Amino acid sequence: MNNWPFRSVLVANRGEIAVRILRTVQSLGLEGAIVYHAADRDSKAVRMADKAVEITGKTPVGAYLDGAQIIDAARRVGAGAIHPGYGFLSENAEFARAVAAAGIVFVGPTPEQIELMGDKVRARAFVADGGFPVAPSAIEDDDPATFVERARQVPLPLLIKPAAGGGGKGMRIVRSLDVLEAEIERARSEGQRYFGDGRLYVECYVENPRHIEVQVLGDTHGNVVHLYERECSVQRRFQKIVEETPSPALSAELRREICETAAGIARKAGYRNAGTVEFIFGNGVFYFLEMNTRLQVEHPVTEVITGKDLVHEQLRIAAGEALGYGQEDVRSEGHAIEFRIYAEDPARGFTPTTGPVLTLREPADTRVDSGISQGQEVTAAFDPMLAKLIVAGRDRADAIARAERALADYVLLGCRTNTAFLRRLIQHPAFVAGDVHTGFLDANPAIAAEPELKVDTLHALLGAGALVTRSLRDPADLVPSLHAAIGDWSN
């Protein structure tokens, strides 16, 4: 596209996604600007940007949630568009509305679409009205006075969810009606605390489901396509760790059905820009879960198999350009797997870790989307995800083999990460067979546990560490003063 309606794009985000967006923006000949908190002053994204504006807040996260300050920064650098990335303000309808009111292009869907799909209760009703599959449920908004009684009619087990929720917060699994009312009150309290909204809904919980999502794109001219599915079933605390495409669980017929369902939902919503329709899948049946009205963390695996740069597509759509291709033009080739590299200790309940990045070595011939660099400090101020390692192969077996080598070659010293855990995960027979579900890690705690070292191995590692540690090696290498006084004399 030669005639962009904006010449500068402000990235309202940080870390790896900011670097990822800037890379495409600058490759298109556009100016890439960024906002940053002082905690990110020396970050890779700030060094990479053409312009950078410091923003402030009571906390680092608070700065990135200050929409008015971000819009002011966009004006100061002359940005004609704002890309929110994921997280922070990416699904905030009021921010999208304020950006448009300021005469700046919001790289994402309309505020109305964000509001519709961001409210899980409204989204479910909208999807059900369109004849798309949703799990049996009871929605509090339908009739608050009868909510508990209607919830009792939903087949056990039940899953209670906050209407405005996300990221697994406030969700409760109920296996006995005896505790239903108590769990509803707990979920309501958590929903109010996390989202400022205590409204709930209850749905039939599918035991050990798989999490399947479909990438969709829609333009301002009414065109909608899907870019196939991603499986995101390997999770901890309802948050994804490994994503892959295509899903090993789907037949060609099911793949076509679930992808067309996602495209149909987006088409019914008149959806614009990039979005992801998520489903739970089990026993050959899938149900609508939610729609994320933004770019997903795991979008690179879709890029690998389709050859589409999703950030480029987002910018083209935001600029008013038509997709220029139909569903028959979208191809899927090979297999791709993404691994989220977290600063955390899996053996201690995936507790976040901190520390300096003393040494950083990334694997060759592998895509690594990263927001960190050597010398940087990893703090507890933000989400612990540091980078994403994306491997591609001819098929799933080839991708797993390449992943083993890439994870072994990824080295970060100074801060504990989950790379050793990821290597154990992909060697597990169930993962190799593609037989996973959202409760897989809970059912297999040994994967997260730190394996015990043999005493001989421990001693060998300690000895090797001592030999390369200058404070220990130098005294050992010193010539005693009595011998040094002899000089070069020899007998």
Q: What whole-number distance in Å separates Cα of residue 63 and Cα of residue 73?
A: 12
For residue 114, list its beta bridge partners. none
Beta strand 210-218 with 239-245 is: unpaired
Q: What whole-number distance in Å separates Cα of residue 331 and Cα of residue 131?
A: 28
Widest CA span in the chain: 103
User: Around 344, how many Cα atoms within 13 Å sit in the side-chain half-sphere?
Assistant: 22
Q: What whole-number distance in Å separates Cα of residue 340 and Cα of residue 299?
A: 12
Backbone φ, ψ for residue 398 (5° rounding): -65, -40
Decide if 294 is catalytic.
yes
Output b/e per residue, 82-92; b: 16+ Cβ within 10 A. bbbbebbbbbb
Place of tokens 């076509």: 256
Cα–Cα distance list, 1 to 5, 6, 7, 21, 58 (Å) = 10, 12, 12, 17, 41
Please tell me which residue in 230, 272, 294, 340 is annotated as part of the active site: 294
Q: Are 71 and 33 in contact (CB under 8 A)?
A: no
Element (H, E) at 339: strand 335-342
Backbone φ, ψ for residue 475 (5° rounding): -60, -35
Nearest to 36, CA basis, from 23, 19, 310: 19
Strand (E) positions, 343-384? 344-345, 351-352, 355-356, 359-361, 367-370, 377-378
Nearest to 418, CA basis, from 450, 440, 461, 390: 450
Beta strand 158-162 with 137-139 is: unpaired
Residue 369 has a CB neighbour count (10 Å cut-off) of 19
Residues annotated as part of the active site: 294
